[in-house]
Structure 1
């Protein structure tokens, strides 16, 4: 009797184990797809996939959510075509309409094939809110509705930096820079002078740089300008570094064909460094460091 009982228990355990294993094999694991909210005023999460269902949350425009697939048939809501989608935003799980969601790939991938402002705006809704003023734009070559090339497009966490050249290649003096937080524009140099090209993009800040120089028969100089934008403080810092090597040879130490020499001295080098806190329009708010020095060659 004892042996029979052991056999029955063993058989039952084995049967239940096999049944569980087979059920696990038949389970379909749905991997969430990251999507970005594209809805002015935010996107509602509802308890059920119905426009009249209870609202259980509101997701800010530009937020990243996790999608677990469509439900029901395609329909139109507020002029947008889509389906109800099961989603998760932080610890809230519910249903939202897919017509107001964009696949993350369309946001994080470089948009290098777009050549016009209209094209950029289709992918990044925040561009629609840019109030461009051509009179405030200090560039020599300006972006138009029919020109433009994305030369830099990178995302770190919730921040994204995009740079657009008015031509077909990088242009550090005429480049346009845009900084986004959760797909919302937080800073742009569009209505001022160009800050240059992105030099570094890290967790808390982005640094832009432009440099130029001259090598003539009487002088050699290099000037570099850096601008640093900090996300959290929404602040802008500026820095200029200038190095000049003067080799003028006439008796007065002045060569009228070279303006730089007329401001320097024969056989001397000149260096200049300046750092300042800038207003968000690029103008100097407060100089925090300035140093000039002349030394013999």
Structure 2
């Protein structure tokens, strides 16, 4: 009897193991798709796929989320057509409307656009359209409606950064930089000094840099100026790093300074956040 009971337990274990194994084989692993929020004021995450369901989160415009596919029928909400979609943002899992989400396969590999002044003019036909003020422009060479060379034109997500030189080649002291969201201008350094040349676009930010220095037989100095514009907060920050050395007359003197600040959108300093000399 004991032997029979052992056999029955063994058979039950095998059957359950087979069921578990078959269940795993039948399971489908859904790989999340990266998408970008395109909603002024942010996109709501709801507990259930219903516009009246409890709101459990708000995703900032331009943020990247993981999508696990659309459900239910197509509908229109606030002028956008789409379906409810199960999504994950940070540690929040819920449902958002796909009409405010964009499939984006260019997030990690920005696509270089055609670098022509004609493509820029299609977005901004005239400098007057962006309230260009010749007197506030601190450059020694200035852009006009009839001149300019596009030296950088890159799109990532719903944002596009264009940099234009007033001459034939890029010029970190006279370049003009423009940031667009869905082809609508959200920032420009036209009415101030040039922020320099674009050096990277990542994590909802574009970074610009100007670098210069001088050296003689006895001394040298290097100054780096970095600027960063945040697509989501529309905040501009600046940074200056300066190093100099003097090594004549049996001297080995050096001086360095490092300063960071939050800038107004006209380039002026709003608040110093770090200053070390």
Query: Measured at CA, do residues 227 and 161 of structure 1 come closer, stay the same or move farther in structure 2, by a change above 3 Å?
Result: farther
Structure 2 CA distance for aligned equivalents of residues 9 and 117 of structure 1? 76
**Structure number, greater radius of gyration:** 1
| Count of residues in Structure 1 that have an aligned counterpart in Structure 2 | 242
Q: Which residue of 2 aligns with 1:50?
A: 50
Q: Which residue of 2 aligns with 1:208?
A: 209
Deviation of residue 22 (structure 1)?
1.0
Q: Which residue of 1 aligns with 2:239?
A: 237
Query: Measured at CA, do residues 148 and 98 of structure 1 come closer, stay the same or move farther in structure 2, by a change above 3 Å?
Result: farther
CA contact (8 A) 2:46 2:95 kept: yes
Query: Measured at CA, do residues 199 and 87 of structure 1 come closer, stay the same or move farther in structure 2, by a change above 3 Å?
Result: closer
Q: Which residue of 1 aligns with 2:102?
A: 102
Deviation readout 1:16-65 (Å, 9 max, x if unpaired): 11111111011011122222211111111223223233333222222222
Q: How high is the TM-score relative to the length of structure 1? A: 0.58
Instruction: Tell me the SS of whatever aligns to 1:9.
Output: helix
Residues 1:40 and 2:40 aligned together: yes
Deviation of residue 77 (structure 1)?
2.2
Deviation of residue 90 (structure 1)?
2.7
Q: Which residue of 2 aligns with 1:227?
A: 225
Structure 2 CA distance for aligned equivalents of residues 99 and 225 of structure 1? 47
Query: Measured at CA, do residues 91 and 53 of structure 1 come closer, stay the same or move farther in structure 2, by a change above 3 Å?
Result: same
After TM superposition, the structure 1 = structure 2 runs for residues 112-123 of structure 1, keeping only pairs within 5 Å, are 112-113=112-113, 116-117=119-120
Structure 2 CA distance for aligned equivalents of residues 177 and 105 of structure 1? 25
After TM superposition, the structure 1 = structure 2 runs for residues 145-184 of structure 1, keeping only pairs within 5 Å, are 148-150=150-152, 162=161, 164-166=163-165, 170-177=170-177
Query: Measured at CA, do residues 171 and 111 of structure 1 come closer, stay the same or move farther in structure 2, by a change above 3 Å?
Result: farther
Give the unaligned 5+ runs of structure 1: 122-129, 214-221, 244-272, 291-297
After TM superposition, the structure 1 = structure 2 runs for residues 278-293 of structure 1, keeping only pairs within 5 Å, are 280=264, 281-282=266-267
Structure 1 CA distance for aligned equivalents of residues 22 and 144 of structure 2? 61
Give the unaligned 5+ runs of structure 2: 215-219, 246-254
Structure 2 CA distance for aligned equivalents of residues 284 and 74 of structure 1? 49
CA contact (8 A) 1:37 1:63 kept: yes
Deviation readout 1:245-289 (Å, 9 max, x if unpaired): xxxxxxxxxxxxxxxxxxxxxxxxxxxx99686765456899x89
Structure 1 CA distance for aligned equivalents of residues 8 and 276 of structure 2? 87
CA contact (8 A) 1:209 1:226 kept: yes
Structure 2 CA distance for aligned equivalents of residues 171 and 190 of structure 1? 14
